[in-house]
Structure 1
Amino acid sequence: MIFPSFHLVIKQCHNQWRSLLFRRISIINQRQLSTNNDYKKDSKQQGNNILVQSQNNQIDVTAFTHKAQQAVKDCVYSLVIVAGVVALGGVCYLILHELYSRETPNGIYKEASKLCLANINVQEALGTPILVHTTPQIGSLRINNVRAKMFDEKGRRSMTVSFYLTGKERSGVVAIKVQKNISNKFVYDYILVQLDRPWHNQNILHVHQNLN
């Protein structure tokens, strides 16, 4: 009777051992499966992170290229604007200098015409009112430019200017000659008015004459 009981105990122990071993193997398998799943998840997440980083880098390169191209365009546009402003400023300076500077044909014309109109002999010879014009005919459609000629004489910059006067009695042609002095300013050599008809037996009136 003892031997069958002992055999039963051994069999029960064996069954318990097999059950325990099976449980341990199951736990180990579950852990391995969990580890593999975590590794796969980490690998997938790492791949996604690398893909996102690559896309971000590509976006950054594209944005930098776009900004660089825009900066070049802005620089070119700025240079064009600056060049246009400089050119416009130069043109405005030339126009203003020609209109308002005395040291130009237009400046000498304006000053000499005032001297002629203020001269008593010119007023009496031509008869007031007196018109000043740069072309032979009053109201001519030709461009109203002052007739001037620049040249060098004895090392000095010289210029001759001519224009016309028309009064009630007579008309005349004004001839002017100026030279640069040591201060680089124009001084008059003479201002003469040649009449179309004599006045007091005179054909030429001296508005200004440098006796030196």
Structure 2
Amino acid sequence: MSLNIISKLISSNNLCSRFYLLSRQRNCTYKLHISNTVQFHSNLSCPLLSKKSNLTESKIVENKKPASVLSAEQKFKQTSKDAGYSGVIIIGLGITGFMFYAVGRELFSSQSPNGIYTKAYKMCKQNQQVQDILGEPIRAYGELNGRGRRRYVRFNEFEEAGIQVMNIEFYMEGPLEKAKVFVEARQNHRKKYEISLVVFENSSYPRRVVTVYNEKEIITSSSNV
């Protein structure tokens, strides 16, 4: 009985020994496989890194090329790009200059509605009857919009008996009264506008109308003399 137990123990020990040897061999093989894999990847990544570094170095060298080394095609492209930028700048300056010219002509030209309005305002301001009705100081402005902001003077151009005519309306105000002014300008034989009529009318009652300037009356009075 004891011999059988001993033999079983021996056989079980042999199995344990064999299992231990097999497991150790597998661990060794797995470790060897891992080490080989790591070595393979490390060997594989090196050429890629070196290739990438070479590409970066080549780009840096290419960017550092002087203008004299540029090819004819690159020079042509660069010249075309510079010419395009210059053209855009010139066109922008031209448009800006034209806008300033148009605005200046509208504001400061004696033939524009604004120029005729300025002349008529000076005539009214120097008139003694207008000063008595409005009081001083006197100011003038264009028509008011819905928000109470002053706009440009209202004007209308038309042709009458072959002559170009411009009608203008604006407002005047002083400490005592407000008034409306009607202006008529006609083109002369030189195609330039000249004021022919300026009529002043106050806003409240009693209404008082002052003829500040009338070209027809001046012509009539001069002919009578």
TM-score (norm 2): 0.60
Contact preservation (8 Å) 2:171, 2:179: yes
1:82 and 2:90 are equivalent in the alignment: yes
The letter of the residue matching 2:93 is V
Q: Deviations over 1:180-206 (max 9, x none)?
A: 11122211120001122457xx62101
Q: Distance in 2 between matches of 1:75 and 1:154?
A: 54
Q: 2:158 aligns with which of 125, 131, 151?
A: 151
| SS of corresponding position for 1:165 | strand
1:160 and 2:131 are equivalent in the alignment: no
Runs of 4+ in 1 over 4 A off after TM superposition: none
Q: Deviations over 1:60-85 (max 9, x none)?
A: 99610011111111221121111111
The alpha-carbon distance between structure 1 residues 62 and 167, as it changes in their structure 2 partners (threshold 3 A), is: closer
Q: Quote the RMSD (CA, aligned, Å).
A: 2.2
1:104 and 2:104 are equivalent in the alignment: no
Q: 1:119 aligns with which of 127, 133, 139?
A: 127
**Displacement, 1:141?**
4.0
**Identical positions, percent:** 30
**Displacement, 1:142?**
2.2
**Displacement, 1:117?**
0.4
Larger Rg: 1
In the alignment, what sits opposite 2:51? none
In the alignment, what sits opposite 1:54? none
Q: 2:78 aligns with which of 62, 70, 77?
A: 70
Stretches of structure 1 that go unaligned for 5 or more consecutive residues are: 1-59
Contact preservation (8 Å) 1:136, 1:164: no
Contact preservation (8 Å) 1:181, 1:187: yes
**Displacement, 1:164?**
0.7
**Displacement, 1:86?**
0.9
In the alignment, what sits opposite 2:189? 182
Which structure 2 residues correspond to residues 6-17 of structure 1 after superposition, within 5 A?
A: none
Name the structure where strand makes up a greater proportion of residues.
1
Q: Distance in 1 between matches of 2:158 and 2:130?
A: 29
1:209 and 2:214 are equivalent in the alignment: yes
Q: Distance in 2 between matches of 1:172 and 1:136?
A: 14
Counting matched residue pairs gives: 149
| SS of corresponding position for 1:188 | strand
**Displacement, 1:95?**
0.9
In the alignment, what sits opposite 2:203? 196
TM-score (norm 1): 0.64
Q: Distance in 2 between matches of 1:117 and 1:97?
A: 24
